[in-house]
A and B are shown apart, each in its own frame.
Chain A
Amino acid sequence: MADPSGDDPAVDEGLLLRRIRRGDVQALSLLIRRYQQRLFHLTLRVCGDATLAEEATVESFYKIWRNARQWRDETGPSAWICRIAVRTVLDLNRGRRRWRRRTRIAGEAREQDSASDIIQDLIERERQERLTDAVDRALAVLKAEDRALVHMYYFENMRLREIAPILDASQDALKMRLSRARQKLKDLLEDFDNE
């Protein structure tokens, strides 16, 4: 069955970028639908503010539209797109000292069949909130660039060689940064883990 969003998975990002270069707005729409979730989560992780992350996501797609001619085929389209998003959110985030997070939880409330389900749900929610707080506290101590690194490495399961061109850093440098970030995260998440 055809995808109702009109997004054909067979159309790769490279082809979409080439179409965007020629001014194809429909290709831009497809790219937005395909990447908006990823870019929003990435930018949110870096800045911790949903409003700013939304702004950064919109600005990133606009820059992709304007600068599509600068994309070279040898650079992976995905890396190029993420790189624009990271730079955009870092620019917008510059000057903000405090990292804060405004979370909008996705999903709908489940219907509970029984009282035990309700209690179970409350316990789970409470645990989720504490986990969110713990993750927030842990991420807050990292630099913005390192939050981007942690997000791509841990949340998107990307490899360092894929992250390197996005963050403009060598794999060795990223390894060092990741090691430091890991240590901080480990210490801060330990309390939660032990509960």
Chain B
Amino acid sequence: MNDNSHSNPEPECGEPDDLRIRECLARSPVEAVPSGIELRVLRKVKQRRFAERAVGTGVAAALLAAVGIGWQLHSPQSPEIAGQSTRGVQHRPSGGEPVGFGVNDADLAPMAASPPVASFALVGRNQLALLESLKSLVEE
């Protein structure tokens, strides 16, 4: 890159003026490079890595939670948990839609006939909304 010497200018542009301009520009003082450039770059890199890890950890935790919920809802070996979720967690303030993570009997009914394979169709509306938001988070 810098292997070209002053006495070997670009042949097609090597006009006599070139040498004079070169000489004049070469004599102008060289500016000092500010200290701390490396430090500033490395700080930015560190901040980015930290942010990436934080997001990665958050997404991983959210996915684990989602998988856990899905597993809970679909596992045929834990009817008592399913029962708990309908009896204990479910809350119907005004006889409308279930609130929180509770599921109702209608949600659980298809599980008896289906294998324990994760299927969004079987998950209650609230869980579906949660999974949708997680999906968009992962896509981001």
Contact = CB atoms under 8 A, between A and B. Distances in A.
Chain A bound to chain B: yes
B20 A28 contact: no
A40 B41 contact: no
14 contacts: A25-B42, A32-B38, A33-B38, A54-B37, A61-B37, A62-B45, A107-B30, A128-B29, A131-B27, A132-B29, A158-B4, A159-B10, A162-B1, A182-B17
A65 B44 CA distance: 10
A160 B10 contact: yes
Interface of B: 1-2, 4-6, 10, 12-13, 15, 17-18, 20-22, 24-34, 37-38, 40-42, 44-45, 48
A71 interface: no
A29 B31 contact: no
Given A57-B37, A157-B2, 11 more contacts: A32-B37, A32-B38, A61-B41, A65-B45, A128-B29, A135-B25, A154-B18, A156-B1, A157-B5, A189-B20, A189-B21
A154 B10 contact: no
A36 B74 CA distance: 58
Contacts of B4: 157-159
Interface of A: 25, 28-29, 32-33, 36-37, 40-41, 44, 50, 54, 57-58, 61-62, 65-66, 78, 103-107, 128, 131-132, 134-135, 150, 153-160, 162, 175, 178-179, 182, 185-186, 189, 192-193
A131 B27 CA distance: 8
Nearest to B24: A189
A160 B13 contact: yes
Given A105-B32, A189-B24, A58 B45 contact: no
B6 A157 contact: yes
Given A154-B25, A178-B13, A186-B17, A104 B31 contact: yes
A36 B38 contact: yes
Contact of A182 (B12, B18, B41): B18
Contacts of B40: 58
Nearest to A178: B13
B56 to A, nearest CB: 14
Nearest to B4: A157
A143 to B, nearest CB: 17
A61 B13 CA distance: 32
A175 B12 contact: yes
